[in-house]
Amino acid sequence: MEELIRHHLEQASTVRLAIYEDRIVGYSIASKYKMVTPFYHRPVNVIYQRMLYLKPGFLYKGLSLRLLAITMKDLFGWLWPFKRVVAICRTQNPVVARIMDMYNLSYPQFGQMVPDEIRQFGQSLLPVLDAESLDEHFRLTGTLTEFAGMDYTEIWERYLDRRHNNYEKLMLNSVFAQKQGRIINSGALILMVAYARPFNFIRHLLRS
């Protein structure tokens, strides 16, 4: 894990810590790009959330939005809420995946097929994501192979099983497997892709 964090820090455009009552409760490590995506006919701003962590309870305290906002400002300037933004991240954490609800569109969703153009876009990102391939479940293989087969039951129940929502179902049916009442790590990360139109985040910012 230390090697993985060091690698992402070396590649990052911005690093931010989330602090609550003098305690570090999360962090954001991100990079920026400008590229053509399936969402718009011209190149748009793309944020690669290399690593994003928040203690699960803090996602629901508005801290996630503040962490996202300061990361966006670092990458795209003060006018970022008025721009089109595509976000990509690799995760096994349903709490992180749920942050994509802040965008207009988010893929994948539990029980729904990923459109072909989004799948092709994901394939084009493999060199950036340091992954070998993208499978039918939108899992990035070759990313966490050392964790394949590990029993994550205690970790899931303590940190990840929070709201019994569709993002938890998505993870349990992709990057984790349920076997004989246990939750087993598949050894892969799921790719999340989201798109926000201009002004999308204004309503979220006004509520924070």
- pLDDT value of residue 1: 63
Q: Say if 24 falls within a structural domain.
A: yes
Q: Quick: pLDDT tens for 98-129.
A: 888 889 999 999 989 999 999 999 999 999 99
Q: What is the pLDDT of residue 16?
A: 93
- Return the CATH number at 111: 3.40.630
CB–CB of 177/169 below 8 Å? no
Residue 40, pLDDT > 90, answer yes
The number of helices, as runs of H, and strands, as runs of E, in the chain is: 8, 10
pLDDT tens per residue, range 7-31: 788 889 999 988 888 888 888 999 9
Residue 11 resides in a domain = yes
- Please give the Cα distance from 64 to 58 (Å, whole number): 7
Residue 208 has what pLDDT? 56
Backbone angles phi, psi at 21, to 5 degrees: 50, 50
Residue 112 belongs to domain spanning = 2-129+189-207
Q: What is the pLDDT of residue 99?
A: 82
Whether 44 is in a domain gets the answer: yes
Question: Which pLDDT does position 104 carry in this prediction?
Answer: 93
Looking at the structure of the chain, the number of domains it has is: 1
Asked if the structure places residue 137 within a domain, the reply is no
Judge whether 57 lies within some domain: yes
Q: For 125-152, what is the mean pLDDT? A: 89
Say yes or no to pLDDT of 180 above 80: yes
Confidence of residue 162 (pLDDT cuts 50, 70, 90): low
140 domain-assigned: no
Q: Which residue has the higher pLDDT, 45 or 67?
A: 45
Q: Domain for residue 139, yes or no?
A: no
Mean of all residue pLDDT scores within the chain:
88
Asked if pLDDT for residue 142 goes beyond 70, the answer is yes
pLDDT of residue 160: 74
The torsion angle over the Cα atoms of residues 2, 76, 57 and 60, rounded to 10 degrees, is -170
pLDDT (mean) for 61-70: 79
Distance CA 205, CA 81 (A): 9
Length of the chain measured in residues: 208
> Torsion angle of alpha carbons 17, 107, 156, 207, nearest 10°?
50
- Whether residue 153 lies inside any domain: the answer is no
Among residues 72, 92, 76, which one has the least CA distance to residue 28? 72
Q: Which of 36-45, 52-61, 72-81, 195-204 has the least mean pLDDT?
A: 52-61
